[in-house]
Structure 1
Amino acid sequence: MTVHLLSLHPGTTLHDERGLLTVRHRWGATTTGPYTPQLAAALRTLADGPTSLDGLAERIRAAARAETPAEPQLALLRHAVDRLGHTLLRHITADAQVLATAVPLAPEATFGREPAPDAPVVLARAAHLRPVGDSLALESPRSRFRVRIEDGRAAAALAALARPVTAAELQSSVRDLPADSLDALRSLLHATGFLHPADDGSRAAAAELPAGWSFHELLAHDGSRAGLRDRQYGPVYPLRDTEPPPPPVAPARPGRTVRLHRPDLGRVAREDRSFTDVLENRASRRAYGEHPLSLAELGAYLYRAARVRTLLDARPEEGRHYAVTGRPYPSAGSAHELELYLAVHRCDGLDRGLYHYDPLGHALTALPGGPGTVDRLLHESAAATGGAPPPDVHLTVVSRIKRLSWKYAAHAYALTLKNSGVLLQTLYLVGTAMGLSVCALGGGDSDTPVHAFGLDPYDEIPVGAFLIGSAPTAP
């Protein structure tokens, strides 16, 4: 026997506020109407655990007296259930076993009223399963519900719904569940936006990903934007109580140190092209001069674009919970999590090889790795630039992502991509001002720089690449 049950989300409380029944929940507070002891008692039953709506109605009828008839209280109950849709959990059971539970994830979560159609239906292409707590969870960036799959038979039904099926075809595929349980599961999935008609026309299109979107990009976009969801978001310092913040500058890598030239910024300011000239002439250039970039030019370039200008200690009493640096480009939360790794192909005064840039000491540290490693990075740059000649220097932008995730929840990766864009533009502008050939790469294989520079693939993640070289001589 299939039973539909309701419960209030854990932590929800009921209050009599000036004669109005007010329900306080994770999204705030909702007033459902006049406070009555009968209605409050019924809703407190939902707070205690899953109960059927019919069971609540019976409680109200049982408590009714001649002077307080049941019907007005039942109407208040139905109104309260409608108003509390964003904090009500909906459970489907079969033979006293919970099959699935729909959990609202946002205040705008609306449980659909239309039953699942008789025509073939299919799971939304943005839907995905993942472990959450002790059960599997069905989620989608296009739904404001999570459906907990709490019985293996419900999971088998999801597998069958990966292709368009009718109710009869679903029943033949999942023989362990009676027809009414499968119908209830279909209705729950349809009402929460996971199941769509698969017949021709616009209704079938609703099951597909939006045009121009890939699954992983849609998921990342939804997960990295603000909004009232059942997750932490923003500068909430999720790791503050479990580990110290990563240092503001990456620890020095072992290896031979190459001190870099520090340009006279006063002279640079007097002799540089105007900002408007630099901005208007910025372009991606993939042709390089006969003579290579010099070590002095490389030092001046890195100094102007990426050095540490200031270093400030943590001051929790002032709201600065970790040490921060100031650099020529801005960074979310002054985290400055981006590191620069260099594959040097040709540079007058510097050996061909791999290096890490120390922005505090303004120096390069030579890293292990033979000529073949440099060649692999240059091969990737050629593939990304349509076979252009190799640059003098291939820069890999690497994010120490925990500098951001220590402070920010839910959107640290999105922030590091924005920071990368800011740094790439700074590299462009400085290169243009210096008369160099510079070009950002639009993609690449993360494994190549991870292996080349000996990175931790989840703590130090490649997020960009940039090419630098001397400019060809004008004819």
Structure 2
Amino acid sequence: MTLGRQMFQHGGGAHPQRLLSLIDGALVEQGGDGSLTVASQWGDVRVAEPGPAVRTLLDRMSLGPVCPDNVLPPEGPERDRERGELRRVLHELDGCVVHSLSDGNLGGPVLSVEPVAPRARFAPPLPTEPAPGLVVRVSRYAVVRTSGTRMLAESPLALHRVVLHRPEALRVIGALAAPVGPEELAEALDDVPPPVLWEVLAHLTAAGVAVRGRRGSEGGRPVLLEDTDARLAPWSPHDLLFHSRRRPGRDGRSLAAAARATRGHRPPPRRIPLPGAAAPAGGSAPPGPGRPLRAVDLGTLLSRALDQGAPGVLDAVPAVLGPERSLDFYVTVNRSRDVERGIYRYSPRGHDLWLVNSDEQDVQALLDCARVAGGGGPAPAVLITIAARMPAIPRSVEASPYATALLLTGALQERLRQAAQDMRLAASVLVTGDGETSARALRLDGIAEIPTGDVGAG
């Protein structure tokens, strides 16, 4: 066993601690029925019938970092029960919990991991000695910057950012420019206790700022999952960072308080055929203000927007109609006479809608975002979201795939607006939206397929 592995295993005299606190602005409110509500920028989370340990922990977390073990009763069955309740409540609150690392001294936390999106989940590995062959490197997409008062490390691929409170954390990141094993890192940073170093690595990788990999066989190059992920091939680091910050949702901001739970359930496939295009304007009266939109109106709007003979700044129709289409339409139905409220994907080939998500909280979150982005008026009867399939975006020497996706999106937004105007429908091109809420509600992975623009109509 090498000296580095011995130091990791035996502790090196340091006793790092994992501490918890609530994000800035979060409040713990007492209900009249004895419940607690944690109110944050992501919305409210109600904790019914909290036990003594939960009450004490949340109260202390609202004041600053605290070790959960310090609020548990002495050893015994009651301690195990309270620990189980703590884990359950903390899992529900994970999107508004800050995870800090202390080295056991009085110098304050070494680093803190802050969530920047409501569905953030943080799960560092349990303390253990490094696995054989493990290497760690800073993500190719990560950025280290100052906020003016704090040093931050963040990645557009991650739902957390890391606050580097102490020089030790910054030195660890600086040593991870190339894949390196924990033992070599411990020898290079011999003034950082190995247990603290291992916990820093665990927090950086769990936050998504650093990535893990394995040494290559027989002295070959190390293999890191990030470098073999085909979804990342169209993306340059600056394009992906720009996309993640272009719209609120993954930087600690949000246009609307989103539902906090991650919903992986998909409804059963349901197809809704749309009627053919109606007669030109004058053949039938459009719905009045605030009235539900008909299926025939929605079908006509989408058909006219994709009419290849229609004028447009950019011919974006092949990007939607081609066999390897690079853009999709998602339709969130709010008010309609004959289409059930929900989120659908539009299929131009069959001229029909396919149900994607019927969860009422997700539908309302998208409509709330559209209402705020539109200036605070009523939510549109339908919200049409354009999503780009990044691997299928046409390559160009003049523009990156992401820039091409934005150009195509802008052209389709204009065609939708013109088609709505011809039908005497109200329509607005929304210049912003909540990217994180849209990706979650539309069941997009946010990398291979991304929301790029919205149009409200009604």
With the length of structure 2 as denominator, give the TM-score of the two structures: 0.48
Structure 1 length as normaliser, TM-score? 0.46
Find the structure with the greater CA-based Rg.
1
